[in-house]
Chains A and B, each alone.
Chain A
Amino acid sequence: MLSVLALTSVVLLSLASQITAIVVYTSWEKHALVGSDVRLSCSFFSWHWTSPDVTFSWQYRPDGAKEGISIFHYGGGVAYVDNKGPFRDRLEFVGNPSRRDGSILIKELDFSDNGTFTCDAKNPPDIVGHSSSVRLLVFEKVPVQAGVVTGAIIGVVLGLLILIVAIYYLMRFLVARRVFSLSMSKHGKKGKGKEGTQQKQALAVADPVKLKAAASEKKKQESRREKK
């Protein structure tokens, strides 16, 4: 019994240490135009309160390089930006550490800025955790997202089709109703003899396909009557 308790407590404690690991969030990919500015956001989740000793560090690894260089560090309430590397004079700290935001702003992008930016945040005593990376892609012009045009064309054509079908049925319904009300008003004026065929005529007008069939039927009926 005691051993079971001990075991569960050990398991819970190990789980707790997993739970209390710090989790860093950044975007997955960032697309930007040459010459523009891009904001790389970094945030973290931690079970502890935000400590005054919270630190943020950003690393930059160019495409194809094996190692990265450190370009930003925030610690002890002071932000240290890159003043020697590829981002000197282009890097700005726009985050709010007390709100767990360690975002940086990179200005005047160039094609050589393509690469992976890694953010690492530490919230003492919560220091164990994975860092998170965001990939920066610099374009001459913003590419069309995959599938947008495809979906748009398909949607428009199918929408038109449904619209045309709806309008067709609406017209048929309206014309049939109007013709029916016309024949109903004539019902009161004329006798029953001619009224039957007139009603048939009126309803047949509503459907052009049926009109031809009705006409052929009428001709057959007339030919039969003539034969009789």
Chain B
Amino acid sequence: MLSFLYARQSGLDDPVRLRRAESTRRVLSLELNHNRDVDRVHGNGINTLDIEVIDGRYMLSGGSDGVIVIYDMENNSKKLKYSCKVVCTVGRSSRHVHKFSVETVQWYPHDTGMFVSSSFDKTMKVWDTETLKPAEEFQFDGNVYCHHMSPIARKHSLVAVGTKDPKVQLCDLKSGSRIHILQGHRGEILSVRWSPRYEHILATASTDSRVLIWDVRRASGSLFTLDQHNGDKSKASSEAVNTAHNGRANGLCFTADGLHLLTTGTDDRMRLWNSATGENTLVNYGKVVNESRKGLKFTVSRGCSPEFVFVPCGTSVAVYGLHSGELITMLRGHYNNVDCCEFHPDYQELYSGGKDCNILAWVPVLRQPDIEDEKTNSKRGGTQAAVNPAFEDAWSSDED
């Protein structure tokens, strides 16, 4: 560690290198912590979480009971033991609350004055955070599975919405219009995601096993479809040609630089694609258990090297190396199925929510003082502070 600091100081190393190494170390030591908790408000499972991008201070959660809660994650109490407090909620008593379960919530990417939520009551509501009243409401014909706003858009303010209808709808926040539709899928749209690199590129995943990449400026259809066999038509049976998965494609996540796209499907596989060419990189993650009938919300770490993927698998969260495909660890702690997880890039913390109505915070374990002295650490269990044997009192007797 000191050599890294010295190299950074003397200019031998890029400043980013120390940050990446330390972020990676922190992600590898994620654990449940006594001292960090999130207030429990939801009476039913938690479907979605979102942490705002600007400060990383406020977190939104949407539950199966239609309730939306905002938490303040900053610790101003000067005590080690801290519970993330609820700032405000849109509860069952509010006049504007969603009638059925909230499937996706997202903060407005540029400030926390606004957030958008979509629900199985076939509506998508744009809320004003100050008054907690919807400023705009969009009605749809079928259940809304997911929506997404582009995190980097400057030229447009479109929200992509995936519903039961095979047509992807784009709603404009500035004008309130929703005439722009993207046609190409043949089944329900389970997940939509804008690219974090180009503000006009959109990826959509559907129950027809295909994942399509669109440029919204283009009038005619999609740019390309992701093919798991990379065009090698001989590998699959004839129905499975040009599909991203052998079952429903239900999860999408771009890596932080937007160069790669991860997709998950009900064939229990996760695939990594080159987002520019649509080529399957053939990284084999093994069996990623996926029984979700709706979209699966998973996330990728930011600022580490190598990057990690956090996928909810049953009652635990699986952590995979992004490019190596190996399973690093399973984070166990929930009592029931985990539905969503969100990574906090500044503190390298992971928040996960599930059917047991809890949001768990996975916090990196503090650095141990003797990293070289592994033998003494393992003897004492590793988590307690290890005393250097030179300072141990080995001579005074107990009788004194």
A and B: interacting chains? no
Listed in ascending order, the chain B residues whose CB lies under 8 Å from chain A are none
Listed in ascending order, the chain A residues whose CB lies under 8 Å from chain B are none
